[in-house]
Amino acid sequence: MLNVNTSMREQIALIEVSGRIDSMNANQLGETLNREIDSGHRHMVLDLAGVDYMSSAGLREIVSALKKVRGSGDLRLAQPSSRVREVLEMAGLDTIFQIYATQSEAVGSY
């Protein structure tokens, strides 16, 4: 079960996700990210505080979104759990994404 909520903080598109991100539902996250990008949002924060599990299917979606916005904006990550951070680190994405300990730090980083 995956819940995805989107909102705006000033000019920042905030995407808050909770649940499990796997091959069954990762496209749901990808569709949300793409919708935000297609709407013209280029400064985005993905808050992963509620995500207790993310497989490589989830990584595929966030890397794909980052490729689309990097250059004209950014997709920054907030509050990954230790398990999600482990997956990010295995794929070397902790050096590709800017990752913040809190949502307010991530939003305030722009």
Backbone torsions φ then ψ of 29, nearest 5 degrees = -65, -45
Rounded CA separation 86/53 (Å) = 10
Among 22, 28, 50, 85, binds other proteins (CB under 8 A): 22
Among 31, 70, 101, 102, binds other proteins (CB under 8 A): 70
Backbone torsions φ then ψ of 84, nearest 5 degrees = -70, -40
Q: How far is the CB of 10 from other proteins (least distance, A)?
A: 26
Are 2 and 19 a contacting pair, CB within 8 Å? Answer: yes
Positions in the binding site for other proteins (CB under 8 A)? 20, 22-24, 53, 55-57, 59-60, 63-64, 66-67, 70, 83, 87, 90-92, 96
